[in-house]
């Protein structure tokens, strides 16, 4: 276990930036190779699916938040407790620990924060991705 703690860490910012560059490069390559008419048809299909799934996702998220409030998973939003400085989570992380850190800071279940993050991501992907990456780069780990 001691070897794991002393192992060098990969620079997370470089990994995130590398993934973003690969995705944008692949999208650009696909745009140059595939004829434009196909992209118009794919866009129309995705738009139709979006108009059906988006309201369903809102209903599911609302139902989950009602269920979470019944189960007491939102108690941290109203309970006053001493808070330390905001940190990214090490123990409760899926990607970079941002949602786990927010959940710990407010004293709520991390799934609630992740559901809210996904809803916000669907509503405004560039803004939420920028904010997530910014928090991941600027906020230290716990």
Residue with tokens 């140059």: 32
17-37 residue pLDDT tens? 888 889 888 888 887 887 878
Residue 2 has pLDDT above 80, yes or no: no
The DSSP secondary-structure symbol of 2 reads H
Structural domain spans, the chain: 2-138
pTM of the entire predicted model: 0.53
Residue-wise pLDDT tens digits, 73-101: 776 665 566 567 888 888 877 888 888 88
Q: What would the two tokens of residue 45 be?
A: 């299909």
Say if CB 97 and CB 109 are below 8 A apart. no
The residue among 82 and 132 whose pLDDT is bigger is 132
Q: Are 139 and 85 in contact (CB under 8 A)?
A: no
The two three-digit tokens of residue 71, written as one number: 């189960």
Q: How many helices (H) and strands (E) does the chain have?
A: 6, 0
């Amino acid at each position: 276990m001691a070897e794991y703690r002393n192992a060098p860490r990969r620079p997370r910012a470089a990994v995130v930036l590398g993934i973003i560059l690969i995705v944008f490069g692949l999208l650009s390559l696909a745009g140059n190779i595939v004829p434009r008419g196909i992209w118009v048809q794919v866009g129309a299909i995705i738009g139709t699916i979006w108009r059906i799934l988006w309201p369903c996702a809102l209903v599911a998220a609302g139902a989950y938040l009602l269920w979470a409030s019944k189960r007491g998973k939102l108690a941290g939003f109203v309970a006053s407790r001493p808070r330390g400085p905001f940190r990214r989570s090490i123990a409760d992380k899926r990607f970079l620990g941002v949602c786990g850190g927010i959940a710990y800071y407010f004293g709520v279940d991390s799934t609630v924060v992740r559901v809210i993050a996904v809803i916000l991501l669907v509503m405004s992907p560039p803004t939420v991705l920028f904010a997530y990456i910014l928090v991941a780069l600027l906020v230290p780990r716990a």
